[in-house]
């Protein structure tokens, strides 16, 4: 998982969902585009797209990389030089797809994984985050239900996922110029919907939400929460971790 803040600092962490324990990976001064990242099914590798703006350096200012989760030290390194495309998806534990592969330079790859240059994920849109984010949602059990538009600078796609007991989790994925304060041009909002009635429970503070086995998990105001959805709705909400007190520290990967 990725913890961002202040805006030019990010930290990667390992979340053991069996115990809800968290292990810090590494901090990075720059931007990691979380919607262009992916974790291999076995949890061993992390593919990401990053930017530090040092355009004359070896990384060309932005790059895609594959690391050993939850760390950022690159085992595969692909300098980019701009912020179009980048990042990618894991097809399985042994193969990955690089978004915009022809726009990268290959510096090194010691992962032992295979770069599948034939695979093309379904559902991607545009040359930025949605080219990876939407295929990842569809792969992970979300269904694209509708598309809303208020002009070329204000788009919204509605995704839904059944979460049991007659409820749906609905995600409004915004692509918007002039987004609300504190939001980037790509941002999500969520609501719980009772499928057999008109009941809709808006969750304006949820920045991310998904199903984890039989429970619902969500992020809000720098905290990670979990709860159970029953016939009555969301119950037994509990705080898993508060990340607000974290501060930047230099950490070396153990490889």
pLDDT tens, position by position, 139-172: 999 999 999 998 888 999 999 999 999 999 999 9
Same domain, 11 and 78: yes
**What is the pLDDT at residue 7?**
79
**What is the pLDDT at residue 197?**
87
**What is the pLDDT at residue 6?**
81
**What is the pLDDT at residue 157?**
97
Number of domains in the chain: 2
Task: Look up residue 4 and give its two tokens.
Answer: 């961002």
**What is the pLDDT at residue 95?**
98
Q: For the whole prediction, is pTM greater than 0.85?
A: yes
Closest-CA residue to 221 (of 191, 245, 202, 201): 245
Same domain, 94 and 33: yes
Residue 91 to residues 41, 62, 137, 227: CA-CA distances in angstroms?
A: 9, 23, 14, 30
Q: Are the C-beta atoms of 31 and 8 separated by less than 8 Å?
A: yes
Residue 134 maps to a domain: no
Same domain, 252 and 190: yes
Same domain, 103 and 147: no
**What is the pLDDT at residue 64?**
98
Same domain, 111 and 174: no
3-state class (DSSP) for residue 149: strand
Residue 130 maps to a domain: no
**What is the pLDDT at residue 204?**
94
Same domain, 3 and 111: yes
Residue 25 maps to a domain: yes
CA distance 229 to 192: 9
Residue 128 maps to a domain: no
**What is the pLDDT at residue 150?**
87
Same domain, 166 and 115: no
**What is the pLDDT at residue 106?**
84
Q: Sign of the C-alpha dihedral, residues 156, 142, 210, 73?
A: negative
Q: What residues in the chain have per-residue pLDDT under 70?
A: none
Q: Which residue segment(s) compose the domain that 110 sits in? A: 1-123
**What is the pLDDT at residue 57?**
92
Task: Look up residue 179 and give its two tokens.
Answer: 């987004």
Same domain, 32 and 112: yes
Residue 174 maps to a domain: yes
Looking at the DSSP bridge assignments, the partners of residue 109 are 76
Q: Are the C-beta atoms of 44 and 68 separated by less than 8 Å?
A: yes
Residue 132 maps to a domain: no
Sequence-separated (6 or more) residues with CB below 8 Å from residue 198: none
Closest-CA residue to 27 (of 246, 254, 255): 246
Same domain, 161 and 244: yes
Same domain, 101 and 179: no
CA distance 235 to 229: 6
By DSSP bridging, strand 95-98 and strand 114-115 are: parallel
What's CA 208's distance to the chain center, in Å? 9
Same domain, 208 and 162: yes
Residue 131 maps to a domain: no
């Amino acid at each position: 998982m990725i913890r961002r803040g202040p805006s030019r600092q990010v930290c990667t962490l390992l979340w053991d969902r069996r115990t809800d324990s968290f292990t810090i990976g590494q901090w990075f001064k720059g931007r990691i585009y979380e919607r262009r990242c992916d974790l291999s099914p076995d949890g061993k590798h992390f593919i990401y797209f990053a930017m530090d703006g040092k355009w004359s350096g070896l990384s060309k200012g932005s790059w895609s990389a594959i690391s050993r989760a939850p760390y950022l030290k690159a085992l595969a390194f692909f300098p980019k030089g701009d912020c179009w495309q980048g990042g990618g998806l894991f097809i399985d534990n042994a193969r990955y797809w690089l978004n915009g592969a022809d726009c990268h330079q290959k510096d090194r790859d010691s992962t032992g994984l295979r770069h599948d240059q034939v695979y093309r994920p379904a559902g991607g849109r545009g040359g930025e985050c949605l080219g990876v984010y939407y295929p990842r949602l569809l792969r992970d059990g979300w269904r694209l239900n509708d598309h809303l538009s208020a002009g070329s600078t204000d788009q919204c796609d509605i995704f839904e996922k059944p979460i049991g007991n007659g409820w749906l989790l609905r995600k409004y994925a915004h692509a918007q110029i002039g987004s609300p304060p504190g939001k980037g041009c790509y941002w999500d909002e969520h609501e719980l919907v009772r499928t057999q009635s008109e009941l809709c429970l808006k969750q304006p503070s949820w920045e991310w939400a998904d199903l984890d086995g039989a429970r619902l998990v969500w992020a809000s105001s720098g905290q990670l929460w979990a709860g159970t959805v029953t016939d009555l709705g969301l119950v037994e909400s509990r705080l898993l971790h508060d990340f607000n007190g974290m501060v930047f520290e230099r950490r070396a990967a153990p490889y």
